[in-house]
Amino acid sequence: MDSARSAILLIVSGPTGSGKSTLCERMLNEFSCIQRVITSTTREKRPGEQEGIDYYFFSPEVFEEKVKSGEFYEYAQIFNRHYYGTLKKEIDSKLSQHIDLLLNIDVQGAATLRAAAQHHPALKENLVTVFVRPQSIDDIRQRLHLRGDPEDEITRRLESVAGELAQSHLYDHIIESTSKETDFQALATIYQAEKAKRTQS
């Protein structure tokens, strides 16, 4: 078996407030063999953030040039402000080194990557998609309140939740969110099973 095929690009999506960021951080802490896909952005660097570790920071002009030259697997402009995107070389170079990757991404970005995989056989073989589905929209609202989001921000974010939930069936796996520990165990089990399946086939 080609060992490159045993590398996994694990995509984790879910509505805002689903806990997917916390879930992904724990996966990276618990599994030293997994690396985070570093996203590119046009937003300003925040205190403590480092180029090439937290994000790749580009000016809007440079980002748009990279879009035109086809350097991204996916990109989006969030709330008509900053661009975010996933560089092809960020994924391809690491998968070719047999490094497992984890990407926390919204449903729009995941859909674009699934579409891209149809034209890139190597990417398709490596791709595993997971959707974290909260118990209800009220559950999401409560989580956003608990983390201190402003009310207008909560309202704006909740407007997109129904559409995001409607796409959950497009993913390889769905985690019915209950608690941080249970969700983590579910994601860890999915990762280990997918890894074993590729290693043994």
pTM: 0.87
* Residue 87, helix vs strand vs coil: strand
Share of the chain above pLDDT 90, in %: 65
Of the two residues 28 and 18, the one the predictor is more confident about is: 28
Q: How far is residue 69's CA from residue 84's CA, in Å, rounded to a whole number?
A: 16
Cα–Cα distances (Å) from 89 to 13, 66, 92, 122, 139, in that order, read: 21, 12, 5, 13, 37
Range of the domain at 193: 3-200
The total of structural domains in the chain comes to: 1
Long-range contacts of 169-175 (CB under 8 A, 24+ apart): 170/111, 170/114, 170/129, 171/13, 171/110, 171/129, 171/130, 171/131, 172/128, 172/129, 172/130, 173/128, 173/129, 173/130, 173/131, 174/130, 174/131, 174/133, 175/130, 175/131, 175/132, 175/133
Interval 145-172 mean pLDDT? 83
Give the pLDDT confidence of 98-119 residue by residue, as tens digits. 999 999 998 989 999 999 999 8
Domain with residue 61: its CATH number is: 3.40.50.300
pLDDT at 1: 39
If you average pLDDT over every residue of the chain, what do you get? 90
pLDDT confidence band for 201 (50 / 70 / 90): low
pLDDT at 5: 56
Instruction: Identify the DSSP state of 9.
Output: E
pLDDT at 120: 87
